[in-house]
Amino acid sequence: MILKPTSAKFKRAISRLRQMLNSDEELLRASWIRMAHPCGKSGCRCAKGKKYHHINWYLSQSKDGKSRMKSVPREYVKAMKAKTEAYKEARGLLAIIGDEYWNEFSNKQKR
């Protein structure tokens, strides 16, 4: 009994995942929270209305059933987003791989 899926979908997913893990690509399991707030300076245009609130980015991560948050300095946001996007992609690939194993196993049982 061969338990390894043979579909193109499976091969593509596993090969992309291997490529990611063998490269410098970094994976970060976290999501983003965007918060707008006034800066508190009386001369700033944000003091006059709610329109010009300053944007801060936070990383949010679940740990032992709780969620924790870290503010991310503006200059790091882009690079950190690449890591969370890579994590999302890897997670999607793992889901495909899981499905393909499931399908393969289900097909084998029908025969």
Binding site for Zn ion (CB under 5 A): 39, 44, 46
Q: Is the dihedral of CA 37, 38, 44, 46 positive or negative?
A: positive
Q: Cβ distance 36 to 29 under 8 Å?
A: no
Tell me how far, at minimum, the Cβ of 74 lies from Zn ion, in Å: 14
Tell me how far, at minimum, the Cβ of 37 lies from Zn ion, in Å: 9
Tell me how far, at minimum, the Cβ of 80 lies from Zn ion, in Å: 24
Smaller CB distance to Zn ion: residue 46 or 90? 46
Tokens representing residue 84 in the block: 């969370």
Q: Which amino acid is at 88?
A: K
Q: Give the neighbor-by-neighbor strand order of the sheet with 66-72.
A: 31-37, 54-63, 66-72
Tell me how far, at minimum, the Cβ of 47 lies from Zn ion, in Å: 6
Instruction: Answer left, alpha or beta for residue 53, where phi above 0 means left and psi between -120 and 50 means alpha.
Output: beta
Smaller CB distance to Zn ion: residue 52 or 102? 52
Smaller CB distance to Zn ion: residue 35 or 39? 39
Tokens representing residue 36 in the block: 């707008």
Smaller CB distance to Zn ion: residue 51 or 66? 51
